[in-house]
Amino acid sequence: MIKNDLFLRALKGETVERPPVWMMRQAGRYLPEFMEIKAKYDFFTRCQTPELASEITVQPIRRYGMDAAILFSDILVIPQAMNIEVQMKPNFGPYLPNPIRSQKDVDNVIVPDVKDALDYVYQAIKATKEKLNDEIPLIGFAGSPWTILCYCVQGQGSKNFDKAKEFCFTNPIAAHGLLQKITDTTIAYLKEKVKAGCNAVQVFDSWGGMLSPVDYQEFSWQYIQQIIDALKDDAPVIAFGKGCWFALDTMAKSGASALGVDWTCSARNARYLTGGNITLQGNFDPTRLFSPPAEIKKMVTQMINDFGKDKYIVNLGHGILPNIPLDHAKAFIDAVKEYQSPS
Q: What are the DSSP E strand ranges found in 197-343?
A: 200-205, 237-241, 258-261, 279-284, 312-316
Q: Whole-angstrom Cα distance, residue 144 to residue 37?
A: 28
C-alpha to C-alpha distance for 233 and 256, rounded to whole angstroms: 10
Q: Is 288 among the annotated ligand-binding positions?
A: no
Residue 53 annotated as part of some ligand binding site: no
Is 271 assigned a ligand-binding role in the annotation? no
For the chain, count helices (H), then strands (E).
17, 9
Question: Residue 25 annotated as binding?
Answer: yes
Task: Say whether 69 counts as a known binding-site residue.
Answer: no
Residues β-bridged to residue 21: 314
Please check if 63 is assigned to a binding site.
no
93 annotated to a ligand binding site:
no
Residue 29 annotated as binding site: yes
Strand runs labelled E in 210-318? 237-241, 258-261, 279-284, 312-316
CA dihedral 70, 74, 80, 85 (to 10 degrees): -170
Residue 124, marked binder: no
Rounded to the nearest 10 degrees, the angle between the axes of helix 50-64 and helix 119-132 is 30
- Distance CA(108)–CA(84), nearest Å, equals 9
101 is in an annotated binding site: no
Q: In what order do the strands lie in the sheet with 200-205?
A: 69-70, 138-143, 200-205, 237-241, 258-261, 279-284, 312-316
Task: Please enumerate, by residue number, every residue annotated as part of a binding site.
Answer: 25-29, 44, 74, 151, 206, 318
Task: Please enumerate, by residue number, every residue annotated as part of a binding site for substrate.
Answer: 25-29, 44, 74, 151, 206, 318
